[in-house]
Structure 1
Amino acid sequence: MTEILVVAATKSEAAHVPAHYETVITGIGKVHAAVAVTEALARHRRGTPPVVVNIGTAGALHLHHGGLYVPSAVINHDISSEVLRSLGYPVEDVLELDDGDGTVLATGDSFVSDAQVRDALAARADLVDMEGFAVALAASRMGAQCRLVKHVSDHADETALDWPAKVDASARALAQWLVERY
């Protein structure tokens, strides 16, 4: 049986994950996520690392998106990639993920609740969150496989501010996917 490490940003997103899964709550944002995943995987240094499964909510960048997604790629949307590259510094800002559904997740430290920001991101991605890229990068650097599983909680506009009222429904759907898959 494959050993997995369930990773969520908040306790509320992991509220319905059964107790027998090893679960790490990272805190919100890329820095917290990268550090927490690296620390957790460092504890597994002997043998094969677990598969990291990042469950969490996401904002939909297109009105037709809703439900559960397993992204095929994740981008770090709030780094100045073009500027850094023009200065001669390579930037890893896109990660491809195995066994995805074709969607692209954009990760950034800004909570997206503005329709103009959402529409700009929609040219590059389908969903937006605040931890996915960091989780995937930390897992990759530590030699672990990673799967991102996101449930749409809002449409990355003013409805995002209702996240606390919607997170439990997303947590239930994410836990159901987890139990059915692993």
Structure 2
Amino acid sequence: MSPERVLVVSATKAEAAHLPTEMPLVLTGIGKVEAATATTEAIAALRPELVLNVGTGGALRPGLTGLFLPSTVLNHDYSADAIRALGHDAVDEIGLPDGDGTVLATGDLFVTDPAVRAGLAERAHLVDMEGFAVARAAQRAGVPCRLVKIVSDAADDSALEWNAVVDACARLLGHWVREQIV
């Protein structure tokens, strides 16, 4: 697949700072609504063969560092069980091909609370604020999707130091994209 047919999706300019410039890029903004909206608009306009979401995430379990390719993404702050109980369909988990076995939990909540972190760690390895929304937009459009997440913090108060570590994370994301896609 040519790099021009891969739509790269990132929440922020800082996370995308070192990506190859020959690939189409959409910056969504932070959170699920922004990510879903921007991704849907870009897919409709560009008709890519693959959506590649790159960005940072928090490690929910001790010792997790580096880059991950989630196999599953969860919508962790969505009341899917309640919606199903009302008789409606609710998608709160998406399987992703070619992943490494990790599970990513996506939500609009900025996770720093130890109790929230512990609860999420029972279901997932990593947490972010856009991955599920990007994957769902791609799924609805019938376009394959891959997520590439690099650990920027431990989903605790260290998340507040994101600005200090994002450039190093972005360099590693850019390197991965050059090696795997370009």
- TM-score, length basis structure 2: 0.96
Aligned mate of 1:41, from 19, 40, 43: 43
Matches of 2:79 and 2:102 in 1, distance apart?
A: 23
Aligned to 1:28: 30
Q: CA deviation at 1:50?
A: 2.5
RMSD value, Cα: 0.9
Aligned to 1:95: 94
The amino acid of 1:36's aligned partner reads A
Question: Residues 112-150 of structure 1: CA distance to partner in whole angstroms, max 9, x if unpaired?
Answer: 112211111001100000000000000111111100000
Residue ranges of structure 2 left out of the alignment (5+ in a row): none
Matches of 2:116 and 2:156 in 1, distance apart?
A: 9
Residue ranges of structure 1 left out of the alignment (5+ in a row): none
Aligned to 1:133: 132
Question: Partner of 2:7: helix, strand, or coil?
Answer: strand
Question: Partner of 1:84: helix, strand, or coil?
Answer: helix
Contact 1:115/1:158 (<8 A) preserved: no
Aligned to 1:66: 65
Aligned to 2:12: 10
Matches of 1:38 and 1:50 in 2, distance apart?
A: 14
The runs of 4+ residues in structure 1 deviating greater than 4 Å are none
Question: Residues 32-84 of structure 1: CA distance to partner in whole angstroms, max 9, x if unpaired?
Answer: 11111111111134xxx321100000000001211000000000000111222
- TM-score, length basis structure 1: 0.96
Number of residue pairs matched by the alignment: 179
The amino acid of 1:92's aligned partner reads V
